[in-house]
Amino acid sequence: MGTRKIIEIDRDLCNGCGLCTTACDEGALALDEEDKAVLVRDIYCDGMGVCLNVCPTGALTIVEREGHEYDSQATREHVLRTRGAEAAEAVHIGPGAASTAAVSEISQWPVQLHLISPQAPYFKNADLLIAADCTAFAFGGFHSELLKGRKLVVACPKLDETGPYVDKIAELIRDNDLKSLTVAVMTVPCCSGLDRIVERAIMLSGVDIPAHRVVVGIDGAIVEAT
């Protein structure tokens, strides 16, 4: 044990929002029975302070104090147990530890809906994923659990110019004999627009293809899959 940088929590300022617990890839923070943030174990805190950026009340600070050294191997095992293999890959690797990079499952380019061509040969007989932009950033398993084996189209129903989207998706569905269609959105209200666009496109295409739906929460967890 020695002096090092480590997180400190002001319980009076903590409002129990939990944002720090999801921002910490190392799983060093949790909410206790009083809905206050607590440090799970010294060895899980890397002292880098990423959690400070999301705290709305300023309850978190980095201090120098006596504490056990950050243990990347123990932290990875902790995250693997509590959050799964995909989350464990994001753990900050300390000195001397080996890092395993996540594998990209992108199999075509471009992916933005304005840029793709419905006539591109890689869409023929494809399993298609139409994803709201934010899902790839929010869901840690996007590549391994959602994108793997699928062709990708991304769009933002709030910020994009969506006028051509219904016709373009309808053409993509109508002309490619798709094996499956999956729509991935966030829980935020603006994402429901993508659902409506896809529903209208399916009707316009005249193709009887069900749209499977995956909904990702702002904490990065899948909250619905149909």
Token look-up 């909904």 returns 215
Over its length of 226 residues, how does the chain's per-residue pLDDT go in tens digits?
Answer: 688 999 999 999 999 999 999 889 999 999 999 999 999 999 999 988 888 888 999 999 999 999 889 988 889 899 888 888 888 888 877 654 444 456 788 999 999 999 999 999 999 999 999 999 999 999 988 998 899 999 999 999 999 999 999 999 999 999 999 999 999 999 999 999 999 999 999 999 999 999 999 999 988 889 999 8
Domain ranges of the chain: 2-88, 121-225
CATH: 3.10.170, 3.40.50, 3.30.200, 3.20.14. Which one for 121-225? 3.40.50
* CATH numeric code, 2-88: 3.30.70.20
> What is the helix (H) or strand (E) element at residue 144, kind and residue range?
none
Nearest to 40 by CA among 4, 90, 6: 6
Question: Would you state the structure tokens that stand for residue 212, as one six-digit string?
Answer: 């499977």
Phi and psi of 137, rounded to 5°?
Answer: -90, -35
DSSP 43-82: GG--S--GGGGT-SS--EEEEEEEEPPP-HHHHHHHHHHH
**91 vs 71: CA distance, rounded Å:** 11
Per-residue model confidence (pLDDT) at position 179: 96
Per-residue model confidence (pLDDT) at position 63: 92
Scanning 123-164, the segments in alpha helix (DSSP H) are 135-138
In the chain the beta strands, taken as DSSP E runs, fall at 2-9, 29-31, 37-39, 60-67, 127-132, 151-155, 180-186, 211-216, 222-225
- pTM for this model (two decimals): 0.59
